Amino acid sequence: MRITGTDLVTWAGTVEASHKLPELVRRLILATSSAGISMRAGEGTRLGGFDGAVVQPESHSFIPEGASIWEMGVTADRRVKAEGDYASRTANPLTVVPINTTFVFVTPRRWEDKDIWAEEKRAEGIWQDVRVIDADDLEAWLSIAPPVEGWLAPLLGRPSNGIRSAERFWKDWSGVTNPPLVPQIVLAGWNNDPTLALRKILQGPPTAVGVAGESREVAAAFIAAALVAWGEESESLRARTLFVDDDRVWTSAVDHGRASILIPRFEQREQVSAAVRQGHHILIPLGRKDGALRAQIHLDRQQRRELRAALTDLQLPGERAEALATIGRRSLLSLRRRLAYVPAVHRPAWAQAGATVALIAPTLAGAWNGDEPGDQDVLARLAGRAYADVERDVVRLATEDDPPLRRVGRTWMLTSKEDAWALLVPTLTEDDIERFRTTTLAVLGTLDPALALSQEQRPLASFLGKTMPYSGFLREELADSLTLMAARSDETNWHLARTPQGVVNDIVRQLLAPQDSAAWASMAWVLPNLAEAAPEVFLEAVERQLHEGGDASVLHDLFQDKQNQIFGPSSPHTALLWALELLAWSPVYLTRSALALARLARIDPGGRLTNRPQASLREIFVAWSRNTGADAENKLRALDALRHQTPEVAWPLMLSLLPVGSDHSTPTHRPNWRDWGQDDDREVPLEERQTLWQGVVERLLDDVQNDGQRALNLLEVHGYLDEQQQDRLNAQLLHAVELLDHAAAMRVWEGLRHFVAKQQEYPDAGWAMEGTRLQRLQALADQLRPADPVLRHRWLFGHAPMLGVLWEPEEYGAREEALDQTRIGALTEILTGQGLPGIERLLDMLDKSDVAFAVGHVLARIPDAPLDDPDVLVALIQRGETGLLLVLGVVRTWLSTRGREHTETFLKSSGLFAGPDQQSAQLLLVLPTDERTWALVAQQKAEVEQLYWQQVQPYAVDRQAAGHVRTAFNQFLVHARPGAAFDLAEATPLSLTGEEWISLLLRMVAEGNEAIQNRSYQILKVLERLSDQSDVDEVALSQLTWLYLPLYHFRSAPRALTRVLLSNPAEYADMVARAYPKEEADEESDTRDGQRQAERERAFGLLQSLRGIPGSTEDGQIDASALRQWVLGARERLQALDLTRIGDSSIGQLLATASQAPDGQWPPAPVCDVIEEVASETLEENLRVGRLNLRGVTSRNLDSGGQQEHELVALYTQRAQTLEGRWPRTSSVLRALAQHYLAEAGSHDERAELTQDRWR
């Protein structure tokens, strides 16, 4: 039924009509003409000026040709409204010239004498023409504009009769969800942005185009979303767009519409393309079942990242947006069902009666590798029939619109597991569940063959054939099915005897029953699923293992992250931690999971991973980050349980919960299906954080008891203690000291003193204590201060002692002097009260012997110290290392305070040089490292001189005097210290000749690794510098570089060796022979075999790292003749060595390093000529392999796919086409490269697809 004039008259009496009439007229103009238009609608009609202005370029039934202004009214008295508008516009025509403009008045009411009124106004001769359009005219106009009629019908309360405007279609399609979908959700993330193609088509000549999506409905929604999203710029397109749902109105829409955009949504669409001949654009929505039809616009797969951003714009919580983005990427219709007000209303076709049996096995499996025999067997067992039959059904279902399954590469997966489960579970039988139970037990209970390998071999498990018989996807999804079955247990329309949770509990209980670490380790990566599926059963199993096994528990063996294992699989214990973190999201299981983590912390042997039980506990309980659904009070109750049962774990945990200046937290493992903490991204309120912090502080104070160290721990968090709590802590400190032994009491006092001094040195720091609080602590420290001066002052000689004085950064010298003066005062007090025995007591108490040097330094500055007596110094030295260091400190200080002459005279006359050789050498080492000291050294016996030169450091040599440097350099060589000589020569202006450098480096090699280690960088710098020196023998340098080759780590070949090998084909061939030697009969020891192997590895590494093309000139050109002669010469020599095939392999990889020619050609023409002349398949294959290896490691986002490789495919394909005429063999190599990258791109694309489809 069409819209009539009577319908319009009725509508004119509504409030809506006054706002919508201008929009109706605007749509009619846009839908039926190409006129330029400016017309208000809605609230804009209340503004001054014309209701509309139009410029029509050609004759039209309803629009005056040329310029026209439009006025409109819905009032019952049409004539009064028209007269008023006419008078107003005549008196004030604004920007138009009336004599050149037509005046048009529009009313949705009937006006019988409109023509008389118009004729009267035309007779006045003011306007070019005067026209009236009433309800009957609008009816006629609507008859040639079906899209506008489709838009207006709902406003009039009329049935759509199978036609809808773009806006109405989008409103109907998106309005079923909560919140309503926005166009961007349908438009975001498609490959190659199909909206660009759609816009281009609609702006072109009339045509029929297929738009293909996962279903016809998605394709239609895409068209509507695009038209709506384009906004005002596409208003004319929307005005001409009509979605036709009923083939019975198609002919009318085609015949009556003018240049419309028609979208047929009915089944029989064979003849729709004929409408193009009548000037219409036809957009045909296509789905999977229309696969044989050709489409010009393809909606492949949306990118999860962009879809997530669009969902986030709907104000959905982050976690929910992530999950919905994964669902939407798999199927937009599944996403729409998930967000629908009443999901059951939107049942997909595959969920109808009779179609569900084929989906039971795929639904229970979740995902599987279609090429994996083990996975095929599992699907057959779940279905109770042959896999070929299962696959036939799966392929059929995957080609339907809104398919329940997708295939990505080799992997089959459900489009929406929750959809499938909710719709299919009521059809499950006891036999289905029994097959699921036995299959799941068999698959998840299979021991991982890799566990039979050593830790070092496990990274190679796949190469050694030690892999699971089932894919990881299948194992994970079977475990996930357990979780979903249990999580939806209360919501499931289940018709079996046992509850879903009961079925799952039985399965998980059997899986976790083995007292075998291998069984737990094999299931490690599904433990979080098992925990979520059966929380009670899982916790019982973990608690049983921890209680019965202790340190020998099978769970202890899950910690497999050895400190020295850098690469390889992660440790299974991390999955156990994730499982317990997941359970902690539930307030019900918080305490039990926390206790399990605490007991795991007890048996944690430590390792290279940061995933530790103690860290998991901290993340769960941290106050400012929400990693559990429990509130502060529940957290505190759980902490009380930890304090009672695992106090040694609870104490450091509570300390770690108090905030610090810069803190961080890592999200814990969340449930997949249970609603524990789901969509809870709220910030933890300040009040709740403070409740937890104060509760922790009170418990820390309660747990200090008589432990002085714990009391000191609490001092560091003093900012969270109120005055009463501070007094309580002070009392506990005092009481603890009274009960502790002497040594422990001293540690408490020193810790307290250090804390107070730290506050005094940094009073402006945010954490600093001040005022009466600090004064009370100072008083307590004074009260605990020991009377014994040795005990009271030993802290002065500890690490970075704090004096309790505020220093500015530029006052470093003053601070050091103040520290010296304080130390002088302390040692003076000790000497006065206890003499040298007091100093000796102090030495005995110091933690590090090298502190004795500082004690000697201070003693030397005390005028009355009894150090001028040689016997005293001898006695101190006889105490051992600390005594000797003290004396060395004294001597060093005397050099600056008494002078060198006095000090050397004292040493000579004191007899100290007459002591042990090492003592004499140490005393000499304290003296300045110059010629004068060396003369004194030369006066000592040979053993002392040898010890001196073996210990003196190159950096101590006076480098300003060239003579000193040369003397020291020679002495280092005399005393077998080429490494020290190298350090001196490399860091000073000592000018060595090339021959001297080579001699020095050869001596370092002869001395072994000790002379070379820690000098790699400097040695390589020298070698590269020698490559540029003209006084260096090239052969000698290349031989030397060969010896140091391992230092290069084969990142790049040394320049000296590169020059030799690329200029001398025989040398290159001999290097290949070194890398691939013939097997020789040799009766010598294994040592020789080891040397041969080392030489082979060195030669092989050099060849692999060699870069450059023989015959290359300094300007980057290649001498084609020189390259040809080199290749032919090398191959001739290699053939003589019976290494032709290996030689071609090596040469091919070398040629792969060629740079592209200035004109962009690769390989350059001279290389192509050699390839064609030699015609060696081995050379060509290794040219390809070498080029692939040169690419190195790539980096990409997890979901970016093989874009990099697709670009390389295009590059090498283009290069192959360019070369195929002149260099066909080279062109074949390039095509092989393109094929390799095409396969690699497919692999990356598949992984990216799976990553996005399985993202949680």
Is pLDDT above 90 for 751?
no
- If one compares 698 and 375, the residue with the highest pLDDT of the two is 375
Contact of 327 with 338, CB cutoff 8 Å: yes
Query: pLDDT class for 808, splitting at 50, 70, 90?
Result: confident
Is pLDDT above 70 for 1221?
yes
Query: pLDDT class for 1176, splitting at 50, 70, 90?
Result: very high
Tokens 């004096």 belong to 803
Query: pLDDT class for 62, splitting at 50, 70, 90?
Result: very high
In this predicted structure, what is the pLDDT of residue 953?
Answer: 92
Residues, the chain: 1256
Phi, psi of 598 (to 5 degrees): -65, -40
Query: pLDDT class for 641, splitting at 50, 70, 90?
Result: very high
Amino acid at 6: T
In this predicted structure, what is the pLDDT of residue 75?
Answer: 93
Is pLDDT above 80 for 525?
yes
Which residues are registered as beta bridge partners of 70? 52, 104
Is pLDDT above 60 for 568?
no
In the predicted model, what is the mean pLDDT of residues 1244-1248? Answer: 89
* Residues contacting residue 152 through CB under 8 Å, at least 6 positions apart: 3, 24, 142
pLDDT in tens, 401-446: 888 998 988 999 998 888 888 888 888 899 999 999 999 999 999 9
Is pLDDT above 90 for 49?
no
Query: Token pair for residue 444?
Result: 């998840």
pLDDT in tens, 493-505: 788 888 899 999 9
In this predicted structure, what is the pLDDT of residue 566?
Answer: 46
Query: How many CB atoms lie under 10 A from the CB of residue 84?
Result: 14
In this predicted structure, what is the pLDDT of residue 379?
Answer: 97
The pLDDT > 70 percentage for the chain reads 96
Is pLDDT above 80 for 764?
yes
In the predicted model, what is the mean pLDDT of residues 921-946? Answer: 93
Q: What CATH number does domain 5-144 carry, 2.60.120, 3.40.91, 2.50.20, 3.30.40?
A: 3.40.91
In this predicted structure, what is the pLDDT of residue 45?
Answer: 53
Query: Token pair for residue 1197?
Result: 């986002």
Is pLDDT above 70 for 957?
yes
In this predicted structure, what is the pLDDT of residue 42?
Answer: 55
Provide the pairing of β-strand 261-264 with 241-244: parallel
The string of DSSP codes covering 681-718 is -PPPPHHHHHHHHHHHHHHHHHHHTT-HHHHHHHHTTG
CA–CA distance, 488 with 543 (Å, rounded to integer): 26
Indicate the domain borders of the chain: 5-144, 159-346, 347-444+480-498, 512-559+570-704, 705-785, 1050-1079+1088-1192, 1198-1256
* Alpha-carbon 1079 to chain mean position: 49
Is pLDDT above 90 for 735?
no
In this predicted structure, what is the pLDDT of residue 567?
Answer: 45
pLDDT in tens, 1145-1172: 999 999 999 999 998 999 999 999 999 9
Which residues are registered as beta bridge partners of 284? 210
Query: Token pair for residue 1049?
Result: 């780590």
CA–CA distance, 860 with 878 (Å, rounded to integer): 19
- Using alpha carbons, list the distances in angstroms from residue 425 to 361, 481, 491, 882, 936: 11, 12, 11, 80, 97
CA–CA distance, 134 with 111 (Å, rounded to integer): 6
Query: pLDDT class for 129, splitting at 50, 70, 90?
Result: very high
CA–CA distance, 407 with 409 (Å, rounded to integer): 6
In the predicted model, what is the mean pLDDT of residues 317-326? Answer: 84
Angle at which helices 387-398 and 373-383 cross, to 10°: 90
In this predicted structure, what is the pLDDT of residue 5?
Answer: 94
pLDDT in tens, 1054-1082: 999 999 999 999 999 999 999 998 755 44
Average pLDDT of the chain to the nearest whole number: 89
SS3 letters for 859-917? HCCCCCCCCCCHHHHHHHHCCCHHHHHHHHHHHHHHHHHCCHHHHHHHHHHHCHHHCCH
Is pLDDT above 90 for 515?
no
In this predicted structure, what is the pLDDT of residue 719?
Answer: 66
Is pLDDT above 90 for 157?
no
pLDDT in tens, 1024-1036: 899 988 888 888 9
In the predicted model, what is the mean pLDDT of residues 358-382? Answer: 95
Q: Which of 267-276, 606-615, 1000-1009 has the highest mean pLDDT?
A: 606-615
Give, for 414, the enclosing helix (H) or strand (E): strand 411-414
Query: pLDDT class for 1131, splitting at 50, 70, 90?
Result: very high
Provide the pairing of β-strand 411-414 with 405-408: antiparallel
- Comparing 109-113, 335-339, 809-813, 1085-1089, the range with the smallest average pLDDT is 1085-1089
